[in-house]
Structure 1
Amino acid sequence: MLILLSGINVYAQNTYVFFGSFNRDKNTEGIYVYELDIIKGNLSKVTSVKGILNPSFLTLAPNGQYLFACTESKTKDAGSVSSFKFNPEKKSLTFINSQRTGGENPVYITAHKNGKWLINGNYTEGSVSVYPVSENGLIEPRVQNFQYSEGSTDPDRQERSHIHSTVFSPDFNYVFAPDLGADKIRAYQFENNKTEPLTEIPFKQAPLGSGPRHFTFHPNGKFAYCVEEMGGAVSAYSYDSGKLESIQRINTHPDQLKDNFENSDIHISPDGRYLYASNRGSENNIAIFSIQNDGTLKTIGYQKTGGKHPRVFTLDETGKFLIATNSVSGDAFVFKRNEETGLLKKVGKKIKIFGVSSVQIRKY
């Protein structure tokens, strides 16, 4: 859309939403692009991509030109990470290439701020892999792979290592990888100028049986938070130069709930005032916390996600909207966020996407 402003041609900004899914069949749509109406909160479909199996987790390059996807194939040695070019003017998403992860079940991928590196976590195999990315968005073969085997206290869920996310520190000098199977937050120093950039440093022990899953940093860089899938809690940490120190552990659910937790995702509002964590299973909601000056959390309330199994959600860069994906019911909802109270209100209309499991928002 072209707007004339005082004789100057400027392009109007558009907000796009990218959804990944468990499509189960690469002959059907797997990745979807929608446009977000930032007034009413409605989503309108722009394009979609076939030919990719179970692109269950997505991340964007820092410049927004490329979209990267994990493909959870559940087929031995057939998991991959893939790259796509997004053109906001043409509203097109075009496949570039893919690389094998060396495992069947990659579940998380993240990009360095310079756009030259990708790091992914493989759940089933319990490994972390590193890939260079060329200037044209091409993913190069992996240059590092850290493999783990040890488990923890729950023989059914923690028989071995299960890496569930890979997250850069705010300064991009460190990477943290929650290991659900071993109850550890694994840690690495990242050196951008090396051909093998990751060096393992001491891990942070998580509570036994907690199953650490997703991880995020406060915008001020002083605090970090990990949502624990099996423990039904968020652990808060103070952070400094690659080191985490525990400061609090707080439930993501009312106290009367005692077991069968299925916590999944965690995000902080851009203003640093509120933290959100999703609960699947019997709850299907997002727990809302206010963040105190000392980094600890205070429960504010809960917001139903409108469907079943809210696997991943995200906030837009303004903090005005939160979009949640429900993978079992196959739908996504937009919520408007009250910046003062932190509470959420459903807006717009739900969209139906089979097996929807991941979401990213970007303004162009």
Structure 2
Amino acid sequence: MTPQFYVAAMSDRPDGGIYRYEMREKAMPPVQVGFTPMPNVNYLAFSPDRKYLYSTCTVDGHAGVASFAVGADGSLTFLSSMTSGGKAACYVITDPSGKFLYCANYLTGDFAEFRLESGRIVEQTKLVRHEGHGPNAARQEGPHTHFTNMTPDGKYLIVIDLGVDAVFTYRIDPEKGLDAANPKVLKVAPGDGPRHLVFDRSGKIAYLANELGNSVTALSYSDGEFEIIGKVSTLPRFWKGDTKVAAIRLSADERFLFASNRGFDSIAVFELDGKGGMKPSDMVLSGGSSPRDINFLPGGEWFGAANEFSNVVVFFDYDGRGKLTPNGFQLQLPRPLHIFW
């Protein structure tokens, strides 16, 4: 199949939903080949076998999740939706068995578990809320769950909570789902406001984007537990304005790490040593306002920045050595939030 990717565009108007694109020719711009309407979609995830796609959305005016069957050509057919049990659903992921779906609800500081059958969302089985707060009174007055993902060993669900400066790991049973009791917890620096993380292929090193701290923390991982290796800033040394970190990505060869800044609208690039060491390498303007997501496109030679508040995805050529160069191609979309494939 021709390489494809999706962009989630968050709007409650008819143009809000999931846009699908093909990379038909190596050096040519992507071509839109599909659109699936869905109100206020902002994050996407495949089932482990990639037969189904899940999204955040709104359902009857409430935060929710939705599922779609993925056709042989990459097209999406709506299957089901359900409210998420909280407010501001912002991240979804399935467990390795594909039997459970997890969703983080940012505003209510909780996350939900759903049982799946043949891709359909059948029932909500758990709703877990964190407690506590952080030192940033404006942003950390209570818990704010922002991320759910599985550890590389498939044993634990990771839940990152910006409001309480913590990374939680909950054990997963492939038949029973989440064990909500006694999670393992990594506390980061007070006020860092952790947001998202990525693992390298070894499964032993992870990189954590700190939204409020405007930094990236390198972590080691083993059997549900993280330890801090080091931390670097995502900003130029003299920047003083309001800004916050959003997305974090690794290059295919894992030699470089990319993190987006919103406010100082840019992409920070770091050279990696494979052991958790990070060295600032470059800084590139995102080409718009508030790059909520950044990602490579299939093939690794194109890179996109989804600029949320200027309604544009700006594209770059990637040279394989950490250098991004704007190539002039853009997509005008309503509030683009996620580039996914």
- Scaled by the length of structure 2, the TM-score of the pair is 0.94
1:249 corresponds in structure 2 to 231
Does 2:338 correspond to 1:358? yes
Instruction: Please tell me whether the aligned partners of residues 59 and 82 of structure 2 are also in contact (alpha carbons under 8 angstroms).
Output: no
Aligned-residue CA RMSD (Å):
2.0
- How many aligned residue pairs are there? 341
2:56 corresponds in structure 1 to 70
Instruction: Please tell me whether the aligned partners of residues 269 and 282 of structure 2 are also in contact (alpha carbons under 8 angstroms).
Output: yes
1:93 corresponds in structure 2 to 76
The percentage of counterpart residues that share the same residue type is: 28
Instruction: Please tell me whether the aligned partners of residues 295 and 304 of structure 2 are also in contact (alpha carbons under 8 angstroms).
Output: yes
Does 2:331 correspond to 1:347? no
2:220 corresponds in structure 1 to 238
How far apart, in 1, do the equivalents of 2:289 and 2:192 lie? 22
Does 2:261 correspond to 1:275? no
**Deviation of the 1:103 alpha carbon:** 1.2
* Unaligned residue ranges in structure 1 (runs of 5+): 1-12
1:295 corresponds in structure 2 to 276
* Unaligned residue ranges in structure 2 (runs of 5+): none
How far apart, in 2, do the equivalents of 1:245 and 1:162 lie? 22
- Please tell me the residue identity of whatever aligns with 1:184: A
| Deviation larger for 141-150 or 318-327 | 318-327
Q: Aligned runs of 1:191-230 on 2, under 5 Å?
A: 191-196=173-178, 199-230=181-212
2:29 corresponds in structure 1 to 42
User: 164, 178, 181: which one pairs with 1:182?
Assistant: 164
Instruction: Please tell me whether the aligned partners of residues 325 and 358 of structure 1 are also in contact (alpha carbons under 8 angstroms).
Output: yes
Instruction: Please tell me whether the aligned partners of residues 271 and 319 of structure 1 are also in contact (alpha carbons under 8 angstroms).
Output: no
Indicate the SS of the match to 2:144.
coil
Indicate the SS of the match to 1:328.
helix
How far apart, in 2, do the equivalents of 1:74 and 1:334 lie? 35
Task: String of CA shifts for 1:219-272, please: whole Å, max 9, x gaps.
Answer: 111111111111100011111111111110100111112452210011112322
Task: String of CA shifts for 1:154-205, please: whole Å, max 9, x gaps.
Answer: 1111111000101211111112111111111112112213254555422100
| Deviation larger for 125-134 or 313-322 | 313-322
Structure 1 residues 44 and 317: alpha-carbon distance in aligned structure 2, compared to 1, 3 A threshold: closer
1:114 corresponds in structure 2 to 97
How far apart, in 1, do the equivalents of 2:142 and 2:135 lie? 10
**Deviation of the 1:318 alpha carbon:** 4.4
Structure 1 residues 113 and 218: alpha-carbon distance in aligned structure 2, compared to 1, 3 A threshold: same
1:5 corresponds in structure 2 to none
- Please tell me the residue identity of whatever aligns with 2:337: S
How far apart, in 2, do the equivalents of 1:204 and 1:269 lie? 26
2:306 corresponds in structure 1 to 325
1:82 corresponds in structure 2 to 66
- Please tell me the residue identity of whatever aligns with 1:61: S
Q: Aligned runs of 1:156-171 on 2, under 5 Å?
A: 156-171=138-153
Does 2:248 correspond to 1:261? no
Indicate the SS of the match to 2:147.
coil
Structure 1 residues 41 and 335: alpha-carbon distance in aligned structure 2, compared to 1, 3 A threshold: farther
| Deviation larger for 285-294 or 232-241 | 285-294
How far apart, in 2, do the equivalents of 1:203 and 1:172 lie? 17
Instruction: Please tell me whether the aligned partners of residues 41 and 336 of structure 1 are also in contact (alpha carbons under 8 angstroms).
Output: no
Instruction: Please tell me whether the aligned partners of residues 15 and 334 of structure 2 are also in contact (alpha carbons under 8 angstroms).
Output: no
Q: Aligned runs of 1:50-69 on 2, under 5 Å?
A: 50=37, 52-69=38-55
How far apart, in 2, do the equivalents of 1:290 and 1:318 lie? 20
**Deviation of the 1:149 alpha carbon:** 3.2
2:19 corresponds in structure 1 to 32
How far apart, in 1, do the equivalents of 2:40 and 2:120 lie? 20
Task: String of CA shifts for 1:120-140, please: whole Å, max 9, x gaps.
Answer: 1110011121122222x1112
Indicate the SS of the match to 1:142.
strand
